Amino acid sequence: MERLSNVRAILAPAPCAGKQISSKIKITNFYLRARVEIARLVLAAANVNYEFIGVEFSDWDKLKPFIPTGGLPMMEVGGKKFGQGIAIQTYLAETYGLYGRSPMDHLTIDQISLCREDMLIPETKHFLCGDENEKKQMEKTLRGEHYPKYCALFTKFIDQRAGDFILGPSISLADIVIFEAFTTMFLNHPDIYKKYPKIGAFREKVAKNPGIKKYLEAEKTPYPL
């Protein structure tokens, strides 16, 4: 993927002045999957065109004051800017028919989204840690405690699914969250990943969605987190 300094694109005023309101979605994030990738996979599954604005870490101090929630990802839609990855992915899933139909569907999906956030936090801390010894200790905990705990939990969600996918016969945000939750482990700890074949088989099913398949083929080398 092309890596440009996108400071100007982000600082440009949102097109919110009367007639100029644009419904084109813009997604801004660091060149990481982290808390943006689920939103991008939702857009891929729904075949929606959008603009991705990548941010280099070196530009972040300049940009941070202009990001409404002070953190990335950020989405611009309808001339407004929004933060918080889970809010963004849920809005997009609801807009494009991937958020189920009932309050129980929403509860099922939100539970999975929030478990994934709990799973991601230690992965992020490990990724960002600059101290070699601390990083080694974190990796030991990830491998020995954290991944086994979340593999067991997500395997239970998969076992309890209502059909081919979590809510039934069709793909939803819940399935996309499970797919992305295990990408980092798949890349960095294939030995652990292999011990949980139900997760691998489920991810393969999600990856067959035509929009997601096309996206994954285009993004040949996923970001490490």
Ligand X SMILES: N[C@@H](CCC(=O)N[C@@H](CS)C(=O)NCC(=O)O)C(=O)O
By CB under 6 A, name the binding residues for ligand X: 34-35, 64, 71-73, 83-86
Cβ atoms < 10 Å from Cβ of 34: 21
Q: What is the DSSP-derived secondary structure letter of residue 18?
A: G
Burial track 97-135 (b if 16+ CB lie within 10 A, e otherwise): ebbbeeeebbebbbebbebbeebbebbeebbeeeeeeee
Q: How far is CA 212 from CA 131, 169, 179, 188, 201, in A?
A: 36, 17, 11, 21, 16
Q: Measured from the CB of residue 57, what is the shortest distance to ligand X in angstroms?
A: 9
| Minimum distance, C-beta of residue 214 to ligand X, in the bound complex (Å) | 25
Q: Which residue is nearest to ligand X (CB)?
A: 71
Least distance from ligand X to the Cβ atom of residue 153, Å: 19
Residue nearer to ligand X on the CB measure, 158 or 174: 174
Nearer to ligand X, 34 or 158 (CB): 34
CB of 86 to ligand X, least distance (A): 6
Nearer to ligand X, 110 or 207 (CB): 110
CB closer to ligand X, 71 vs 190: 71
